[in-house]
Chains A and B, each alone.
Chain A
């Protein structure tokens, strides 16, 4: 049972490049989240989704886009990468936002140089 799978694990981007971080879950969860974690800090919510076709902004959405065409997949798109987007990105999922834990992927370490 894979749980939440994130790819890639590591990536170096040049300023201005674009990329997509992939996230897939096999638990049929409706709720999916993207967080970023800067060194020594907590998790900041970028975008979240409560089901296929429904997405909403979190705390720090600028510079990112998401889509949710299926229950399983929730990719995060970075357009025009900036050094401020250097961070560890975590994807997570849960059956609901209440009373259920988040299942986390292993994270993506992104550096923008």
Chain B
């Protein structure tokens, strides 16, 4: 079992709709959960960080964490063409290393 799993996509969402991205992880001891966005040819950039069960909102982005189900998700409301990118879920493992999923490619269609 991979430590961090994501659907690779591509996920196609119409402009203005909600995009929903999912991630599961295997290490029950994980405490920190991150969503990074990566545009083609660029370095990843952090868009959301969450460590408590429940929801965390920042502008159009909402991260959701369910530790019992070992599941973290990212919702993007009012999707814009500029949101088209690869979204990487990352999780701490053994409190010292950060493991990434394979990424979900998101495409926002006008």
Contact = CB atoms under 8 A, between A and B. Distances in A.
B98 A97 contact: yes
Interface of B: 3, 6, 8, 31-32, 34, 36, 43-46, 49, 51, 88, 90, 92, 95-103, 105
12 contacts: A40-B8, A42-B103, A44-B100, A45-B99, A48-B97, A56-B97, A90-B44, A99-B51, A102-B44, A102-B46, A104-B43, A105-B43
A99 B97 contact: no
B43 A33 contact: no
Contacts of A40: 8, 105
A48 B105 CA distance: 26
Contacts, number: 64
Contacts of B6: 42
Contact of A50 (B51, B88, B96, B102): B96
Contacts of B34: 101-102
A2 interface: no
Contacts of A92: 98
A16 B31 CA distance: 41
B28 to A, nearest CB: 16
A101 B99 contact: no
B98 to A, nearest CB: 6
Given A48-B96, A58-B97, A98-B32, A42 B102 contact: yes
B100 A43 contact: yes
A40 B6 CA distance: 13
Contacts of B45: 104
A43 B88 contact: yes
Contact of B31 (A94, A98, A105): A98
A107 B43 contact: yes
A98 B32 CA distance: 6
Nearest to B4: A42
A42 B88 contact: yes
